[in-house]
Amino acid sequence: MDWRLQNPITGILLYLAATVFTTYMAFQGFVSLEVWNALFWIILLFTGINAVSKSFIQEERRVHYFFFTCDPLHILSAKLIYSCLYLHGVTFLSIFIFSILFGNPISNYPLFMLNAFSGVLGISSAFTMVSAIAFRAGSRSVMMAVLGFPVVIPVLVLSINNSYRILDGFIWLQIRGNVFALLSVDVIIIVLTYILFPFTWKN
């Protein structure tokens, strides 16, 4: 649907480009390492919210078809995979735009990308789960905010802390505990999503 309509994808790309460019104009092209890291995750978070939050809400017209023809876990798996790939693409594009406008302080690309992908996995999984719950609620936008941010806070704290240390020159042995903790939080969110979603779907 996203590829056929193209409105969601072009909207996200425009949002990402406009946000980064506005930030560039505000800082006049010069930012410290801490600010670069903070801006990267802030923009990635809110772009992810816009990209993933409507994951189930936009399926309102097809919900009855899915209900009678598809297993709920198959639907959830498809949503998780698509959301994760979507945000990974946004991550690559964000790093590319940031490198052009603000410079590129990344020296250890494999470790930085591992941490970024782990954080994106947690963000996409959390907001996919919240989108599924909010789809059945009345005030969907309020539910997204109330349920989404508490779930995603541990992911953000670990991701931001890890990426700053990587930019500051830390190596794998120095941050592997935090990376494993981030991956553990991702696994917990995904497992909870698979446990809760069938009940939400049936109701």
Per residue in 82-128, pLDDT (tens digit) is 888 888 888 888 888 888 887 778 888 888 888 888 888 888 888 88
Read off φ and ψ for residue 56, nearest 5 degrees.
-100, -25
Taking Cα atoms as reference points, which of 62, 79, 3, 46 lies closest to residue 156? Answer: 46
Can you give 137-157 as a three-state secondary structure string? CCCHHHHHHHHHHHHHHHHHH
Look up tokens 């919900």; give the residue. 63
Query: Domain tally for the chain?
Result: 1
Residue ranges making up the domain that contains 117: 2-202
CB of 47 within 8 A of CB of 94?
A: yes
pTM of the complete model? 0.80
pLDDT digits (tens, 9 = 90+) for 149-158: 778 888 888 8
